[in-house]
Chain A
Amino acid sequence: MNALVISAVLGVVMMFSGILLKQKSAVRNVAIAGMVLLLIVNVLELCGNVFFNIDSKGMIEFDRFALLFNTIVYVSAILYLLLSARDMEKVGVNYAEYLALIFFILCGITLTSSFRSLLILFLGIEIISIPLYILTGSDKRNLKSNEASLKYFLLGAFSTGLMLMGIALIYGAQGSFDTTRVSSFQGTASPLLVAGMVLLLFSMAFKVSAAPFHFWTPDVYDGAPTVFTSFMATIVKAAVFIAFIRLFDEAFGTLQSQWQLLIAIITVATLFIGNITAVFQQSVKRMLAYSSIAQAGFMMLALYAMNADAKEGLLLYVTAYSLATIGIFAVLIKMKDYTFEGFNGFAKQQPLLAATTTICLLSLAGIPLTAGFLSKFYMLKAALGTGKHLWLVIFAVLMAAVSVYYYFRVIQAMYFKDGEVQKIDVSPAFKWTLVVVTALVVLLGVFPNLLLNWYYF
């Protein structure tokens, strides 16, 4: 409960800081300090020190899983701010407001990771989505940003409608929004409940950009200002996935036989479309958008498997994915040209940045000794644990092999091709933060238990 309250308060503080503080660097420092504070109070709660004990009537519960995930989110967010907060200045004049919105999104994330009631799930998802519509359109004069924002808004509101209809049907069948009461029914499940479950599946699949509900993703990620794409594609996506797995574990765990096949179909479609389409992109930014769909396909395997390994593996996966993607986007933001050719000869000009980007890309591609390999391994192992559908695992491995192609295109451009990259200037602090991100990616690739042990204590 600590982080929930503090993040909401910090959002308001950030709005005022825009008025009270003249310098942007001061605003930024407040934001980073606030984020560190969030992390500290959350870790304190993980260790058992709860400051705010609000009676939520059982609608919110901060268990180990939620708290550990929140910690991951805040660490990622701190790294994100350290790397990219400076670049938000280029988007528009409302600097403090962007940061405030990010804090509100974090508040929503804190809700979605700890909900016990469908009401809280709905609120959390909306608190995440509405600020994102704004951030997507924050580059007001840019038509692409406009377009992305409107598309995102229309499709997002549509999926909200689906989600609400699903919740209403479930309420009709079970008489409660409480996840434990949703999952308890006698005999066979009523059609209302199943229909509601399927509708919720659609809307959650939409939010995590799983095929065939992924269409908004490439356009929105491409059109949004790159700093915010980075945030959307990593932390937000991870949060929605955690909500997804919680929902299907706690509320629909008893309906597993009903949804397992559907999720398998969605997983296959997502893996296929994400990977195959990513191959043909000319812009690295758009390639990363498709890659995020492809990675979502892998995370869907956890939902499909839905066992203890899967939840654990998903935590590792979202961490590996978020860190690596933040690292790549941080470099991409600095580039003037987002095409693959724009990276030609990058290794000569910025050897360190090229090396960190390479390791992050290797992690996304799932090359051993990076966190990406282990997280994929966990996912596949979890899927194997179900004891059926071996073909799903083989298909996923095949698709992972395809993904190597487009990730290596970037590495090849950086190292093996000559070209004139426009000079980019980065501070030493930026470089060191990137090194830390990369080191984390490698560290988790060798000692995944450093993270996962927190889950058990």
Chain B
Amino acid sequence: MKNALNIVYLIPLLPLVGFLINGLLRKHLSKSMISVVGCGTILVSFALSIVMFLQVKNGDGGTIEYFNFISVGELTIPFAFQIDQLSSLFLLIITGVGFLIHVYSTSYMQEEKPEHFGRYFSYLNLFVFSMLLLVMGANYVIMFIGWEGVGLCSYLLIGYWFKNNEYNKAANKAFVMNRIGDLAFLIAIFWIIAKTGGVNYGEVFAFAPKLSGTDATIITLLLFVGAAGKSAQIPLYTWLPDAMAGPTPVSALIHAATMVTAGIYMIARSNVLYSLSEVSMNVVAIVGLATALLAATIALKQNDIKKVLAYSTVSQLGYMFLALGVGAYSAGVFHVMTHAFFKALLFLAAGSVIHAMSGEQDIRNMGGLSKKIRITFITFLIGCIAIAGIPPFSGFFSKDAILLNALLVDSHDGSFSIKGIILYGVALFTALLTAFYMFRLLFITFSGTFRGTEEQKHHIHESPAPMTIPLIILAVLSIIGGLIGIPDAIVKGGDKFTEFLSPVIAQRAGHPVSHSTEYMLMGLSTVLVGITIIVAWRQYRNYKRKEATGFAKVLEDKWYVDEFYEKIIVKPLHNFGGFLKNVFEKLVVDGLVNGVGRMVNYGGRQFRLLQSGQVGSYVLLMVLSMVIIFLVQFFLRK
């Protein structure tokens, strides 16, 4: 088994080969050939990832150096891969979920021309390659290379349907916001080099205790800005919902299951550094929680099936950051895994719905689909239950771990701190919102009566097997995926997940709460989520378009209790969501981005005027600057 590490380079290499074949020969290959190359390479990578995972499980992970990538002076950066618990887990998620999405895509993109089909698969493979590079790299520079790569691929894939100007704008937005994050990451790398003299994880973390507090804070905050860009946190989150312009499988792969978790990976990887800075931890937790809440409220008001899922992704990512911020790194990573399952499932199921509805994405035009597309409905339902956090579905365990850890922050001797209670309360509220908007989406889409056109109705059909089989597999994973992380309170030693990660992730020396308290908390969240789902069911199971119903029908509808909910809970929340969307997003976030742009714009115009085209003014400016420099040189220096 030991020598399996020798072929670890094949894991990223195969998708790269797939990219080259599909990219260069796309005009000469048939669609089926392209599919085979695209999916096959990922499948083999997945198989190899399993081998690596087993190897790591046996304690045989390690770092493999290939060649000296950069050697400047005393700084040596090897091109090396690090296979340990954290990276092997991400490998499994990326290649596993990635493979399913590739298979799904072969059917979903079937109507494209062979040339575009090839281009699509080549980008997809390139994306998987970059993502693998990101998690396998043994130092920050390799991580950065993968980091840039996924940003680039995301840009290419969002702009995939480049005819549409809107998509172009979305692609640009995604790129710019990612670049802001990348920039902070790059500066962080240089800061790390300046202070620790290395970039290899081993060296940096070994040096970490000698870092000064300020340096640790600056580095971790910069890294966090980078992570916020990639993982769509406040204020760099608006690109993710817009990025839904890309094809649905792309949304599933990039904007739900893998790329956006890069930020989580980075912070979990750097947990040694984060543990040094209380400030950074607080910032991560608060920004994460704020994002989770903000995105969840916005999701309440969305009517585009993909937009709801997009905001839900932002919200769930916020959850993961909350976990990281309270020091529960393994809970965060656990949520990454379960989220990858159920979010990929939800997106692919949404793709299946869109497919069935001939491209319609507005849920107000759907309804009553549950009988017509049975498999899609059931899998979507499973996804919703999983994300809402009903035991024993996967989302329950990861979400519960995060909630518990949030509550336990700063706790002493069984009593909870104020901070912990606030974090817990807001996080629980967000979880309820999540359940509400997800089931709203489910009921509006699948129950009630059909509200689309006759033509659409006629056309509704279940998707072909290459689309449904990945759905079923993901649904099964969404159900059972959480079982590897059962808290100790239920099954002694059930938390295999944390145990597995423990060599690479520092454990909190917390005071575990008593089992009875834990049971109570679990029960509380489950009951509240259950109530929320019932509310959503009553509210939306017979959803009718407002503009289609008219006043008479409202009277006919005797659900005063609905009206009550509508007025007391739903309306304010809707308004609040709308307020945040319009005011916060438009004014604050976009205003900030545009403001910087305008400043650069203004400055640039002024500087252009210096280039007057007149030789005389050029000489004058040169002579003036010469005089100034001479003055600086001879008089202003000590």
Question: Which A residues form the contact surface with B (CB < 8 A)?
Answer: 150-151, 154-155, 158, 191, 194-195, 198, 202, 206, 212-213, 215-216, 218-219, 258, 261-262, 265, 273, 276-277, 279-280, 307-309, 312-313, 367-369, 373-374, 377-378, 380-382, 384-385, 390, 393-394, 397-398, 401-402, 404, 408, 412, 415-418, 446-449
| Shortest Cβ distance from residue B157 to the other chain A in the assembled complex, whole angstroms | 12
B317 to chain A, nearest CB (A): 23
Please indicate the chain B residues that have their CB under 8 angstroms from the CB of A262 in the complex: 629, 632-633
- In angstroms, how far is the closest chain B Cβ from the Cβ of A209? 12
Q: How far is the CA of A213 from the CA of B182 in the complex (A)?
A: 32
Query: Is B619's CB under 8 angstroms from A158's CB?
Result: yes
- Provide the bound-state CA to CA distance between A393 and B621, in Å: 27
Bound-state CA distance A377–B141 (Å) is: 10
Contact residue among B71, B141, B145, B600 (Cβ-Cβ distance under 8 Å from A449): B71
**In this complex, what residue of A is CB-closest to B603?**
A276
A273 touches B607 (CB 8 A): yes
Contact B72 A312 (CB under 8 A): yes
Alpha-carbon gap, A312 to B70, bound state (A): 12
| Chain A to chain B: the 6 pairs with minimum beta-carbon distance, closest first | A368-B145, A215-B618, A212-B625, A416-B162, A309-B72, A276-B604
In the complex formed, the residue of A with least CB distance to B26 is A351
Contacts of A202 in B (CB 8 A): 622, 626, 629
Q: Which residues of B contact A151 (CB under 8 A)?
A: 615, 618
Q: Does B588 contact A (CB under 8 A)?
A: no
Docked-complex contact A381 and B633, CB < 8 angstroms? no
Verify B615–A155 contact, CB threshold 8 A: yes
Nearest CB in chain A: distance from B418 CB, A = 37
CB neighbours of B535 from chain A (8 A): none
B634 near A401 with CB under 8 A, answer: no
The answer on a CB contact under 8 Å between A258 and B633 is yes
Chain A residues within 8 Å of B149, by CB: 368-369
Complex interface: chain A residues within 8 A of B295 (CB): none
Q: A277-B604, A449-B67 are in contact. List 18 more A-B contacts (CB 8 A).
A: A151-B615, A202-B622, A202-B629, A212-B625, A215-B611, A215-B621, A265-B632, A276-B604, A276-B607, A369-B145, A381-B73, A381-B190, A384-B194, A390-B190, A404-B179, A416-B159, A416-B168, A416-B171
Query: Using an 8 Å CB-CB cutoff, how does the interface string of B50-90 with A read, 1 for contact, 0 for none?
Result: 00000000000000000111111101000100000000000
Do A308 and B73 form a contact, CB below 8 Å, given A215-B611, A277-B608, A412-B172? yes
Measured CB to CB, the closest approach of chain B to A303, in angstroms, equals 15
In the complex, whether B152 has a CB less than 8 A from a CB of chain A is yes
> Nearest-CB distance from B634 to chain A (Å)?
7
Query: In the complex, which residue of chain B has the Cβ closest to the Cβ of A390?
Result: B194
Distance, CA A68 to CA B621, complexed state (A): 37
Residue B175, interface by CB 8 Å: yes
Pairwise interchain contact A198-B630, C-beta atoms closer than 8 A: yes
Distance between Cα atoms of A195 and B634 in the complex (Å): 9
**Complex alpha-carbon distance, A369 and B621, angstroms:** 40
B187 within 8 A of A: yes
A307 to B68, CA, bound (A): 21
Chain A residues, Cβ within 8 Å of B70 = 374, 377-378, 381, 448
Task: For the complex formed, measure the closest distance between the CB of A360 and the CB atoms of chain B, giving whole angstroms.
Answer: 15
CA distance A280 to B625 in the complex (A): 24
User: Chain B residues with Cβ under 8 A from A377's Cβ?
Assistant: 70, 72, 141
Known contacts A202-B626, A216-B618, A449-B71: A279-B168 contact under CB 8 Å: no
> Are A402's CB and B615's CB within 8 A?
no
Contacts of A380 in B (CB 8 A): 190
Q: How far is the CA of A401 from the CA of B604 in the complex (A)?
A: 15
Question: Judging by beta carbons under 8 Å apart, are B172 and A215 in contact?
Answer: no
Which residue from B171, B190, B618 sits with its C-beta under 8 Å from A393?
Answer: B190
The answer on a CB contact under 8 Å between B625 and A401 is no
Decide yes or no whether B183 CB sits under 8 A from chain A.
yes
B72: chain A residues at CB < 8 Å are 309, 312-313, 377-378, 381-382, 385
Chain A nearest Cβ from B318, distance in angstroms: 26
CB of A176, distance to nearest CB on chain B (Å): 23
10 example contacts (A-B, Cβ-Cβ < 8 A) are as follows: A194-B634, A213-B625, A262-B633, A277-B608, A280-B604, A390-B194, A394-B187, A401-B179, A417-B168, A449-B67
Taking the closest CB of chain A, its distance from the CB of B183, in whole angstroms, is 5
Which B residues lie within 8 Å of A216 (CB)?
A: 618
B333 CB to closest chain A CB (Å) equals 25
In the complex, what distance in Å separates the CA atom of A398 from the CA atom of B180?
9
CB distance from B22 to the nearest CB of A (A): 14
Q: Which residues of A contact B611 (CB under 8 A)?
A: 215, 218-219, 277
* Complex contact B67–A418 (CB within 8 A): no
Residues of A with C-beta under 8 A to B210 = none
Determine whether the beta carbon of A279 is less than 8 Å from that of B600.
Answer: yes
Residues on B with C-beta less than 8 A from A150 are 615
Residue of B nearest to A404 (CB): B179
Residues of A within 8 A of B180 (CB): 401
Query: B634, A155: Cβ atoms under 8 Å?
Result: no
A368 and B183 contact, Cβ closer than 8 Å, known pairs A215-B618, A277-B604: no
Tell whether, in the assembled complex, residue A367 and residue B148 are in contact, meaning their CB atoms are under 8 Å apart: yes
Query: Which among B73, B148, B194, B621 has the highest number of chain A CB atoms within 10 Å?
Result: B73
Asked if residues B619 and A155 are in contact (CB atoms below 8 Å), the reply is yes
B600 CB contact (under 8 Å) in A198, A261, A402: A402
CB atoms of B172 and A154 under 8 A apart = no
**A314-B72 Cα distance, complex, nearest whole Å:** 12
- Given contacts A377-B70, A385-B73, A412 and B168 within 8 Å (CB-CB): yes
Please, what's the 1-or-0 string for B156-184, where 1 marks a CB less than 8 Å from any CB in chain A? 00010011000010011001000110110
B550 is an interface residue with CB less than 8 A from chain A: no
* Residues of chain A within 8 A of B618, CB atoms compared: 151, 155, 215-216
Check if B193 sits within 8 Å of A381, measured CB to CB.
yes
- Candidates A277, A312, A385, A394; contact of B607 at CB < 8 Å: A277
Hey, which chain B residues are within 8 Å of A265, CB to CB? 629, 632
Q: Return B619 CB to nearest CB of chain A, in Å.
A: 7
B605: CB under 8 A from chain A? yes
* B36 interface contact, C-beta 8 A: no
Q: Does B186 contact A (CB under 8 A)?
A: yes
**How distant is B377 from chain A, measured CB to nearest CB, in Å?**
37
Q: Which residues of A contact B605 (CB under 8 A)?
A: 280
CA distance A407 to B242 in the complex (A): 23
User: Contact partner of B615 among A154, A191, A397, CB < 8 A?
Assistant: A154
CB distance from A213 to the nearest CB of B (A): 6
Q: Closest CB-CB distance, A290 to chain B, in whole Å?
A: 9
Asked if B144 is at the interface (CB within 8 A of a chain A CB), the reply is yes
Q: Determine if A397 and B622 form an interchain contact, defined as CB atoms under 8 angstroms apart.
A: no
**CA A265 – CA B168 in complex, angstroms?**
38
Given contacts A198-B629, A390-B194, contact A401 B621 (CB under 8 A): no
Provide the bound-state CA to CA distance between A162 and B171, in Å: 49
Residue of A nearest to B172 (CB): A412
B619 and A368: CB pair below 8 A?
Answer: no
B186 in contact with A408 (CB, 8 Å): no
**When A415-B159, A416-B171 are in contact, do A384 and B190 touch as well, CB less than 8 Å?**
yes
Find chain B residues with CB under 8 A from A393 CB.
187, 190, 194
Are B68's CB and A449's CB within 8 A?
Answer: yes
If A262-B633, A402-B600 touch, does A397 touch B626 (CB 8 Å cutoff)?
Answer: no
Smallest beta-carbon distance B572→chain A, Å: 41
Q: Assess whether B183 is in contact with A397, with CB atoms less than 8 Å apart.
A: yes
Task: For chain B, residues 475 to 508, give those with C-beta under 8 angstroms from any C-beta of chain A.
Answer: none
Asked if B607 and A219 make an inter-chain contact with CB atoms under 8 angstroms apart, the answer reads no
Chain A residues whose C-beta falls within 8 Å of the C-beta of B182 in the assembled complex: 401
Question: In the complex, how many angstroms separate the beta carbon of A335 from the nearest chain B beta carbon?
Answer: 20
- Which chain B residues lie closer than 8 Å to A446 at the CB level? 69, 79
Q: Are A212 and B621 closer than 8 Å at their CB atoms?
A: yes
In the complex, residue of chain B having the shortest beta-carbon distance to the beta carbon of A147: B613
Q: Are B183 and A398 in contact (CB under 8 A)?
A: yes
What's the least CB distance linking B144 to chain A, in Å? 6
The chain A residue with its CB closest to the CB of B180 is A401
B635 to chain A, nearest CB (A): 12
- Minimum C-beta distance from B23 to chain A (A): 9
What is the CA–CA distance of A308 and B145 in the complex, to the nearest angstrom? 25
Chain A residues with CB below 8 A from B175, complex form? 408
